[in-house]
Structure 1
Amino acid sequence: MHDNNLHKHGYDLDLLSESYPDLKSHFITKEDGYISIDFTNPASVLALNSALLKEHYGVNHWELPVDYLSPPIPSRVDYILHLADLVGEKNITGLDIGTGANMIYPILGTAIFNWKMVGSEVDPESYDFATSLQEKITMPKSRKISNIKLRFQEDRGSILKNIIKPQELYDFTMCNPPFYGSEDEAIKANQRKNKNLGNDVSDRNFAGKSHELWCNGGEALFVKRLIKESVAFKAQVGWFTSLISRKENLPKLEKQLTKLKATYKIVPMNSGNKKSRFIAWKFEK
């Protein structure tokens, strides 16, 4: 994890439960006597996230329906911190592509660095929930939830078009693209995960809406589309970035960026045993 990540040494569950008492009902005792939570239970992960946001970032009243993806806060913080290394910390404006119902990246960008953030969303239900969530959330006095602007993407065939307005300038864009290429692929991956964990396997027992988990062509095709579309906005954006979960997707993306004569870099990020990275690219103005 990033050196500045508050969560690099794990969680203090006792401290978190003092800040967010509902968390205590989700505690479990492992065989070694260690107190933890059930990370396969969406309600438990949601309670942990609410506690982390309240205790460490002063974000109150964050919530999410249990059938949506509840994002792991430490890895989301890591992306934000690495972006700060890339573009700086002060007077920054960013765009989160596909901000989701949870709106987590704009919230963290504002809470940690007081960035101005735009969050785009293509799913009407997620957009509506994020809009209502923004009205409920409170932050420390030095931070403004009004720094976040939400925009609905009416054209499912576009990513940046209709979202980045004429004359607008962004220091960066960020994106956590859908991982899978189909529902069947997502179900099979989840079954393998549950089998490895020794859990009962069902057809579909994981949290997350379809648009959060899969899209045609999966992660690779989505980012290829993003790269292609980014050329038209090269004068308005400093760095375009996207998480890349599958390392094997990188060569084709690098080839595409080289062909477009873009400057790019791969930024590694590790969270526990999980290895990840994001790709960042920019064009000569």
Structure 2
Amino acid sequence: MVKKKIHPTIKSKLHPRNKNRERYEFKQLIAVCPELNEFVRENPYGDESIDFSDAKAVKILNTAILKSHYGLGYWDIPANYLCPPIPGRADYIHYAADILSNCNAGKIPTGSSINCLDVGVGANCIYPIIGSMEYGWNFVGADIDPTAIDSATRIVNQNPALTERVTLRLQANPKNIFTGIIQSNERFDLTVCNPPFHASAAEAQAGTLRKLSKLNTQKAKSPKLNFGGQSNELWCEGGEVAFLKTMIHESKQFAKTCSWFTSLVSKSERLPLIYKFLKQIDATEVQTISMGQGNKVSRIIAWTFLSKVEQKEWIQRWK
């Protein structure tokens, strides 16, 4: 056995409010999800862990986390759909809450007065779950995939805490982002999005090989995503930059309909082009928020068309 590693008790790179900052307590997780016990093994360093290259093990771990930390009674996804790393997804929601708090004298707005739109909710419904359970926000989850919408609907319907807070909508036109989803009488305080990062299936597979190589697994010879993912979840024509260009330019049509638009951005070298797009549409304020999880660094891009005065007027609706 390799010499046991000394691990910090807190994952300091995660947001201070993230419930996943401490190392996994597998006894606690197994207590709420006994199926996890089958996948927990002692790693070469003498620590309890799972094989993170095993898609089934990762899904069961997610199920246990959602039951233990967020009170879900049911969570599942179809085979080969994206199984998100929950700590990173939770960080996004907490930093998004900070964006709203900055407009509200440092106080995070909670409860059903806050309406959010998740662009690409996926079969896992992870952002509405975390946002609803942590802050009581309402969500509309949109996706172009009927199977993903069916799966997310099943999750919502089988968790009473979500049924009054989460609505799912199918985007009928895959070329649109907000059009066809945001209705004429609706106002959103926040949009969130985990865009398809890659420009092709080959690029997505190359990313999988790199990930598996870092996990030091022989499975890299026959790649299969440990976190799954359908083509529309992983890649689109033109990749992340093209997707965000469409999103940014379409957001202008809803300038007074939404307070803050946000999205993940996977690579920092893509930011200059994104800033250029935001300048073209005359966004009044742009924020870039860095996030860290282990050795991985990502960031959130956020923008609004509201002036400071309009932002103050907007938050009066929360009172």
TM-score (norm 2): 0.85
Alpha-carbon distance in 2 for matches of 1:220, 1:250: 9
Please name the residue that 1:96 is paired with: 118
1:66–1:38 distance in 2 versus 1, CA, 3 Å:
farther
1:61/1:138 contact within 8 Å kept = no
Match of 1:145 among 160, 163, 166: 163
Alpha-carbon distance in 2 for matches of 1:29, 1:5: 26
Alpha-carbon distance in 1 for matches of 2:85, 2:28: 18
Please name the residue that 2:313 is paired with: none
Please name the residue that 1:170 is paired with: 188
The amino acid across from 1:154 in the alignment is A
Q: Name the SS for the 1:8 alignment partner.
A: coil
Please name the residue that 2:289 is paired with: 267
Alpha-carbon distance in 2 for matches of 1:249, 1:36: 34
The amino acid across from 1:66 in the alignment is A
Please name the residue that 1:246 is paired with: 267
1:131 maps onto 2:144 in alignment: no
1:22 maps onto 2:35 in alignment: yes
Alpha-carbon distance in 2 for matches of 1:63, 1:32: 31
Please name the residue that 1:52 is paired with: 65
1:197 maps onto 2:195 in alignment: no
Q: Residues 106-147 of structure 1, C-alpha deviation per residue, up to 9 Å, x if partnerless?
A: 1111111110000001012111222222222344xxxx4221
Match of 1:219 among 225, 240, 245: 240
1:260 deviates by 2.1
What is the Cα-based RMSD across aligned positions, in Å? 1.4
Q: Name the SS for the 1:102 alignment partner.
A: coil
The amino acid across from 1:65 in the alignment is P
Alpha-carbon distance in 2 for matches of 1:41, 1:50: 14
Please name the residue that 1:76 is paired with: 89
Q: Which runs of 5+ in 2 are unaligned?
A: 1-13, 101-107, 311-319
Please name the residue that 1:255 is paired with: 276
2:117/2:190 contact within 8 Å kept = yes
Alpha-carbon distance in 2 for matches of 1:204, 1:194: 8
1:271–1:198 distance in 2 versus 1, CA, 3 Å:
closer
Work out the number of aligned pairs and report it: 281
1:217 deviates by 0.9
1:204 deviates by 4.1
Q: Name the SS for the 2:262 alignment partner.
A: strand
1:149 deviates by 0.5
Alpha-carbon distance in 2 for matches of 1:203, 1:121: 30
1:161 maps onto 2:179 in alignment: yes
Q: Percent identity?
A: 40
Please name the residue that 1:277 is paired with: 299
TM-score (norm 1): 0.95
The amino acid across from 1:32 in the alignment is Y
Please name the residue that 2:10 is paired with: none
